[in-house]
Chains A and B, each alone.
Chain A
Amino acid sequence: EVQLVESGGGLVKPGGSLRLSCAASGFTFSSYSMNWVRQAPGKGLEWVSSISSSSSYIYYADSVKGRFTISRDNAKNSLYLQMNSLRAEDTAVYYCARDGMADRCSSTSCYGWFDPWGQGTLVTVSS
């Protein structure tokens, strides 16, 4: 069974940092691009970042570019999101999601839908 389990969420002060992790199992992690998506309380889904299977290609939403860093460790079947300079508007549930098909990212784009999703981890940025 494909499983994604996020961890690392919590309460952090504005300007602070947090590192999220996503542990993957049940599939060949090193073959798939991975993604982070967030959802602010009562709001819709917002794509945050994507990383290709070998970490060659990385993409960010403008709202987090320069503050967040996505990475992965294929030996540990793990995805990460380092979040720095956090703001109140970063408060959200953060989901990791696998691309629906293997190897769908290139130097210019990613052509994958998201499936499956993890259960999410809540990040609250507040003083």
Chain B
Amino acid sequence: DIQMTQSPSSLSASVGDRVTITCRASQGISNYLAWYQQKPGKVPKLLIYAASTLQSGVPSRFSGSGSGTDFTLTISSLQPEDVATYYCQKYNSALRTFGQGTKVEIK
């Protein structure tokens, strides 16, 4: 089975900072990669699919890139409402595995 590894597990940044989260697949998955945001006590929400396609309604400060095994989620200017845990997910097979999550906090 392909494993998804996110780094870092948590980060603390200031409002306005550029934040980058990495997701690495143990084998190539082309661009079959989605990113989700889960705010505290809330339901996960789709941010990005196909590695770089922004879901409708998601602020443009979020962006995704990568292909194959290495992917990144970038928040260009961190806002207080971005405090959440972010998960990557592969969907190139029936086993649609999630990464372990990256918790983003405000410094």
Q: Which residues of A contact B (CB under 8 A)?
A: 35, 37, 44-47, 50, 57, 59, 61, 95, 100, 105, 108-120
Q: How far is the CA of A118 from the CA of B91 in the complex (A)?
A: 19
**With known contacts A44-B100, A45-B44, A100-B49, A61–B87 Cβ distance under 8 A:** no
When distances are taken between beta carbons in the complex, the residues of chain A under 8 Å from B34 are: 100, 113-114
B98 touches A50 (CB 8 A): no
* Number of residues from B at the complex interface, CB < 8 A: 24
When distances are taken between beta carbons in the complex, the residues of chain A under 8 Å from B61 are: none
Q: How far is the CA of A118 from the CA of B43 in the complex (A)?
A: 7
When distances are taken between beta carbons in the complex, the residues of chain A under 8 Å from B38 are: 45
Q: How far is the CA of A47 from the CA of B100 in the complex (A)?
A: 12
When distances are taken between beta carbons in the complex, the residues of chain B under 8 Å from A108 are: 94
**With known contacts A111-B91, A113-B89, A120-B43, A35–B96 Cβ distance under 8 A:** yes
A interface footprint on B74-87 (CB within 8 Å = 1, 0 otherwise)? 00000000000101
Distance in Å from the Cβ of B59 to the closest Cβ of chain A?
17
